[in-house]
Amino acid sequence: MAAGVVTGLLAGLFGIGGGAVIVPVLFEVFRLLGVSEEIRMQLCIGTSLAIIVPTTVRSYRAHRAKGLVVQAVMRSWTVPAVIGVAAGSVTAAFAPAQVFKLAFVVIAAIIAAKLLAGRETWVLGRSLPGRAGMTGCGFLVGLASSLMGISGGSLATMMMTLYGVPIHNAVATSAGLGVPITIAGTLGYMAAGFPQQSLMPPLSNLSSSTSR
């Protein structure tokens, strides 16, 4: 419950889904429940993505009502981000748990370093990149989000501010991008879990609930 409250606060304040809080909490919960180490991290990520769908939707609607969302970024990043999520979901079906642990640590460390040591002079450009650059940014945000179990808000906000987008607009746009990322990620991880049903706890997927 505490993790849920923190997640909601993060979504409202910063336009992020809160997966960085949810995943570590779920990892310990699933450990106590005896979930196999082989699929525990993947289960945490998929569950986190599903949990933060409503927080990203609610956050996006609130920011959009204030007119803060940069629609051009939404249009440029949405499709590449979903493709990135799909790539991460395929990885979840075959890669070992260590890959996701490493991805979580590395991505979280990058975000933390930017927040703690970043300066306003740290910029990649004074304006957003061209079409190829925007496509690449969207794909990386989607891929990283699906490997870490987050909505991508923290990553997208960081990227946009590095290209000179004002922080309020970056937060609002990141919240919007989190909607397709979390929905696609939830569906992708459900599909990735089907071959691992023998290792899953009860009701972890639609198939396991119907089979019981």
Predicted pLDDT at 207: 47
Predicted pLDDT at 1: 79
Residue 14 pLDDT greater than 90, yes or no: no
Nearest CA to 14 out of 186, 138, 141, 178 is that of 178
By mean pLDDT, which of 84-93, 117-126, 136-145, 176-185 is the weakest?
117-126
Express each pLDDT in 40-69 by its tens digit: 888 888 888 998 888 888 888 988 999 999
- Domains in the chain: boundaries: 2-197
